[in-house]
């Protein structure tokens, strides 16, 4: 079986996505390390470095599709007392794992909110930064997610998005294809007993727009000074923009 998203309507896409993360929530962090060979840590560290949270200034961050809280924890560790992060995710199980991992390490500087990236439950102009790591490709209506990001950011606010991108290094592309089409679902099956969620994962990466197209969409949403920085030969890209 095979999830043919091109033939599935957008609401059922969200249903499939929810099902995937419902199944993997408890093992999500282990699988992340395993499948990226630990690289997701370096990618996230880069995004947090670009955000540059610091004890010297207050920063109110919204981390969308924040799942088990990884990006939020890194941001809070780097920013100290003057940083606050709201973790938003559509999936209750992922948030529950995140809450448990957070414990009381960050006090009330972290908050977990269940919600949809396409319709954020926050007023306009309410955050200094919006981050999203490996989340936006799961959202059925990308343009809606980008419009919402723009709406909730204040003027001068920063948009940062880490997402799988397009590998265009000769040689690496072949290795990457073999790895993602065969090894990822196999590893998923081995560890969780079910390869299907991981086939979805690989598919969703394939269907995501390349860096140039995605940058154009970010500009269409109103963001200025839009940049894309490829990492690891384009396996991933960090997209950045400003609400000016
Ligand atoms: N940002 C985390 C990280 O990098 O470890 C989690 C990324 S995980 C691959 C994708 C997350 O997107 C899941 O937790 C899933 O529940 C969430 N998600 C999917 N669709 C969403 C939506 N429409 N709105 C908000 N979150 C969504």
CA 113 to ligand 1 center in whole angstroms: 12
Q: In the predicted model, is pLDDT for residue 2 greater than 80?
A: no
Q: How far is CA 96 from CA 48, 108, 132, 194, in A?
A: 23, 16, 18, 22
CA 14 to ligand 1 center in whole angstroms: 11
Total domains, the chain: 1
Instruction: Tell me which of 34, 86, 89, 204 to substitute to probe ligand 1's pocket, judged by most ligand atoms within 8 Å of the beta carbon.
Output: 89
Q: In the predicted model, is pLDDT for residue 7 greater than 70?
A: no
- ipTM comes to 0.99
What is the reported pLDDT for 8?
59
Which tens digits make up the pLDDT trace of 24-82?
Answer: 888 888 888 988 999 999 999 999 999 999 999 999 999 999 999 999 999 999 999 99
DSSP letters of 173-212? HHHHHHIIIIIHHHHHHHHHS-SHHHHHHHHHHHHSPPHH
What is the reported pLDDT for 4?
44
Reading the block at residue 144, the tokens are 């809606």
Strands of the sheet with 236-243, listed across from one edge? 110-114, 83-89, 59-64, 127-133, 153-164, 236-243, 224-231
Sign of CA dihedral 242, 54, 232, 136: negative
What is the reported pLDDT for 168?
82
- pLDDT average, residue stretch 98-102: 97
Q: In the predicted model, is pLDDT for residue 85 greater than 90?
A: yes
CA 26 to ligand 1 center in whole angstroms: 14
CB 154 within 8 A of CB 125: yes
**Of 14-18, 123-127, 217-221, minimum mean pLDDT range:** 14-18
DSSP tally for the chain: helices H, then strands E: 10, 7
Q: In the predicted model, is pLDDT for residue 3 greater than 80?
A: no
CB 200 within 8 A of CB 20: yes
What's the domain range around 237?
A: 5-243
CA 138 to ligand 1 center in whole angstroms: 7
Please give the model's pTM, rounded to 2 decimal places: 0.93
Residue nearest to atom 18 of ligand 1 (CA): 65
Q: What is the largest CA-CA distance in the chain?
A: 52
SS3 content of the chain, % helix, strand, coil (to 5): 55, 25, 25
Q: In the predicted model, is pLDDT for residue 6 greater than 70?
A: no
Which band of pLDDT confidence, cut at 50, 70 and 90, is reported for residue 212?
very high
Say which DSSP state 119 is in.
B
CB 223 within 8 A of CB 215: no
Instruction: Tell me which of 13, 135, 205 to substitute to probe ligand 1's pocket, judged by most ligand atoms within 8 Å of the beta carbon.
Output: 135
Q: In the predicted model, is pLDDT for residue 211 greater than 60?
A: yes
What is the reported pLDDT for 1?
36
Q: How far is CA 157 from CA 60, 110, 134, 219, in A?
A: 10, 19, 20, 14
Q: Which residue ranges have their beta carbon within 6 Å of ligand 1?
A: 14, 17, 21, 64-67, 70-71, 89-91, 94, 116-118, 133-135, 138-139
What is the reported pLDDT for 169?
86
**CATH code at position 136:** 3.40.50.150
What is the reported pLDDT for 188?
84
Question: Any binding-site annotation on 91?
Answer: no
What percentage of residues in the chain have a pLDDT greater than 70? 97
Which tens digits make up the pLDDT trace of 168-209?
Answer: 888 998 898 888 888 888 888 888 788 888 888 888 898 999
More confident residue, 180 or 220: 220
């Amino acid at each position: 079986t095979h999830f043919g998203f091109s033939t599935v309507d957008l609401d059922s896409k969200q249903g499939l996505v929810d099902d995937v993360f419902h199944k993997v929530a408890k093992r999500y962090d282990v699988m992340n390390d395993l499948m990226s060979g630990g690289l997701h840590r370096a990618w996230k560290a880069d995004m947090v470095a670009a955000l540059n949270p610091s004890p010297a200034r207050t920063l109110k961050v919204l981390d969308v599709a924040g799942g088990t809280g990884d990006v939020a924890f890194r941001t809070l560790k780097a920013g100290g007392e003057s940083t606050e992060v709201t973790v938003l995710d559509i999936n209750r199980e992922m948030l529950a794992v995140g809450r448990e991992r957070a414990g009381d390490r960050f006090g009330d500087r972290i908050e977990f909110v269940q919600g949809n990236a396409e319709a954020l439950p926050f007023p306009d102009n309410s955050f200094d930064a919006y981050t999203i790591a490996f989340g936006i490709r799961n959202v059925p209506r990308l343009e809606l997610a980008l419009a919402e990001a723009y709406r909730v950011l204040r003027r001068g606010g920063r948009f940062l998005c880490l997402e799988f991108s397009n590998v265009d290094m000769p040689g690496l592309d072949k290795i990457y294809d073999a790895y993602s089409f065969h090894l990822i679902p196999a590893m998923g099956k081995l560890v969780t007993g079910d390869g299907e969620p991981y086939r979805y994962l690989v598919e969703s990466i394939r269907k995501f727009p390349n860096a140039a197209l995605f940058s154009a969409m970010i500009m269409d949403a109103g963001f200025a000074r839009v940049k894309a920085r490829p990492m690891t030969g384009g396996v991933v890209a960090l997209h950045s923009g400003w609400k000016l």
